[in-house]
Structure 1
Amino acid sequence: MAVHCETMSDVRREIDRLDRELVKLLAERQGYIEQAGRIKGQRSAVRDQARIEDVVQKVLAEAEKAGLSGAIAEPLWRLLIEKSIEHEYEVFDKKSAAE
């Protein structure tokens, strides 16, 4: 829950704090994406449309509970997923080239 702010300086300080935390969480998420790229046996397994939709639905349910607009959550996560898939392809391709 957002803390009450009196000034724009307060707002910006809190946003900057949250951004630092988000970067840490996204880096952790990326680590799991990299493990998936290492673990998956076939390049065609990198994109899993059913899993994409499952993740988005779970995020939307959590967003609703947390008071995050679905209009923010859904496109943001779809972009995050697409960029994660691109990264996973890179990891998979590097692994395959090294074998």
Structure 2
Amino acid sequence: MPEVREGVDAIDRELVRLIAIRTGYMEAAARIKPDRDAVRDEARKQDVLTKVGAAADAAGLPRAIAEPVWETLVEASIAYEFTVWDKTRA
């Protein structure tokens, strides 16, 4: 069991590193988008979730795990992007 936990912890650290990189792109998007209404883009959100579903299927990741994780990630990213958008225009 300790080896399994070490593996999980290593994966978690890598996921955090990758999400930090993804968040950098959210910051860039907030700076680029011309108006606040552009921050929430439902078509883009659906596109991301569709692509994640396909990637999950290809990787053997159950959608029961992938879909709620990415739904939460996307919504948190949108909220963060609103914060950055507001902050950069204050």
Instruction: Provide the TM-score with structure 1 as the length reference.
Output: 0.90
Match among 54, 59, 65 for residue 58 of structure 2: 65
Q: 2:22 aligned with 1:29, yes or no?
A: yes
State the alpha-carbon separation in 2 of the partners of residues 70 and 22 from structure 1: 18
Question: Is 1:18 aligned to residue 11 of structure 2?
Answer: yes
- Partner residue in 2 for 1:47: 40
Letter in 1 for 2:44: R
| 1:95 pairs with 2:88 | yes
Over aligned residues, Cα RMSD in angstroms?
0.4
Moved over 2 A (4+): none
Cα displacement (A) at 1:9: 0.5
Identity %: 56
Mark the runs of 5 or more structure 1 residues left unpaired by the alignment: 1-7
Q: Paired residues, what number?
A: 90
TM-score by length of 2: 0.98
In the TM superposition, residue 96 of structure 1 has moved relative to its aligned partner by 1.2
Which of structures 1 and 2 has the bigger CA Rg? 1
